[in-house]
């Protein structure tokens, strides 16, 4: 059941949303449904035009989208794309002093800190606010939003972001991205644990679906067991979050671990497993399809 988006006040800020993809579309739609003025931009204009029936205005360029915005939300593929779009000279020139840029993409913490410094020199504020909850959470407005930045900016953004989910301030610039990496480490590693355990049961002669039911509610229970475990039982690996995206996040986690002098052997192992899944042609499947990689290693289908 969808959560009702809070009604906007008459003084609701204009929000530019850059990136109308799997997550960007339902999130921007919820903002529209909360009566928040939205200016949408996407490289493929047709994706942004899907928001027209909900009252959004579609811009021809990122610079046009941000020119009259009070808040700018980026939902882009990775740090390099955020750099090319947000830090493009035309976009930067169009961002008005005092604008709050909320980067909800998943990028490196170091990139988030760099963007914050560069926007500050331009007179704009920045916070990194990646999310967890997937497309279901985006549609229902139940995302977990992890915010890094100044407390005053987080509170300024709260009335808008609460239309999308639960906002938690976790620390200074870059801390939101650290929290997101922690989330993705746990997700990726747990997907592997669930897949390996269920496959061993099937190899040994147990009914995998019934094993999943049997351990639900015990100490091994988790959202991953419930949601991704069901996908494994059903062999339904339709992309919700791609293996390639999970691999990107694991690599970002390892890059960050190295930067802070932290050894992460478990994440290192799973980075290798997801990498091999991509090499074997599974990259565009859902990240629960690590199950397929592990099944093939064991001569199972």
Q: Is 180 annotated as catalytic? A: yes
Structure tokens at 101: 């840029």
Q: How many helices, marked H, and strands, marked E, lie in the chain?
A: 15, 9
DSSP string over 52-102: GGGT-EE-SSHHHHHTT-SEEEE--SSHHHHHHHHTSHHHHHHSPTTPEEE
Burial of 82 (0-12, 13-18, 19+ CB in 10 A): buried
Residue with tokens 């100044």, as numbered in its chain: 150
Q: Which residues of 250-274 are buried (b: 16+ CB within 10 A; e: fewer)?
A: bebbbebbeeeeeebeebeebbebb
Rounded CA separation 260/83 (Å): 23
Q: For residue 125, give every residue at least 6 positions away whose Cβ sits within 8 Å of its Cβ, in sequence order, or none.
A: 98, 99, 100, 101, 119, 149, 150, 153, 156
Structure tokens at 190: 């747990």
Residue with tokens 């059941």, as numbered in its chain: 1
Identify the active-site residue in 180, 203, 239, 248: 180
Structure tokens at 49: 């035009």
Rounded CA separation 160/34 (Å): 9
Angle between helices 109-121 and 175-204 (to 10 degrees): 160
Indicate which residues carry an active-site annotation.
Answer: 180
């Amino acid at each position: 059941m969808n959560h009702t988006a809070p009604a906007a006040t008459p003084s609701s800020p204009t929000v530019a949303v850059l990136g109308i993809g799997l997550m960007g579309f339902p999130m921007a739609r919820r903002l529209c449904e909360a009566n928040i003025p939205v200016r949408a931009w996407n490289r493929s204009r047709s994706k942004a035009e899907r928001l027209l029936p909900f009252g959004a205005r579609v811009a021809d360029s990122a610079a046009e989208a941000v020119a009259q915005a009070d808040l700018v939300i980026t939902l882009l593929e990775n740090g390099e794309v955020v750099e090319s779009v947000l830090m493009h000279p035309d976009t930067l020139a169009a961002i008005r002093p005092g604008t709050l840029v909320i980067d909800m993409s998943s990028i490196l913490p170091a990139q988030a800190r760099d963007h914050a410094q560069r926007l500050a020199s331009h007179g704009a504020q920045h916070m990194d606010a990646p999310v967890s909850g997937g497309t279901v959470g985006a549609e229902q407005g139940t995302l977990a939003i992890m915010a890094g930045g100044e407390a005053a900016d987080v509170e300024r953004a709260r009335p808008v972001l609460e239309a999308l989910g639960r906002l938690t301030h976790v620390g200074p610039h870059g801390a939101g991205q650290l929290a997101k990496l922690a989330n993705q480490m746990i997700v990726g590693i747990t997907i592997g644990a669930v897949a390996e355990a269920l496959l061993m049961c099937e190899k040994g002669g147990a009914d995998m679906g019934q094993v999943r039911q049997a351990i639900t509610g015990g100490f091994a229970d988790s959202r991953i067991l419930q949601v991704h475990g069901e996908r494994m039982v059903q062999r339904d690996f339709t992309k919700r979050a791609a293996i390639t995206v999970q691999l990107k996040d694991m690599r970002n986690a390892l890059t960050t671990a190295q930067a802070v002098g932290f050894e992460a052997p478990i994440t290192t192992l799973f980075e290798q497993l997801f990498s091999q899944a991509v090499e074997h042609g599974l990259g565009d499947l859902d990240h629960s399809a690590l199950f397929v990689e592990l099944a093939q290693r064991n001569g199972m289908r």
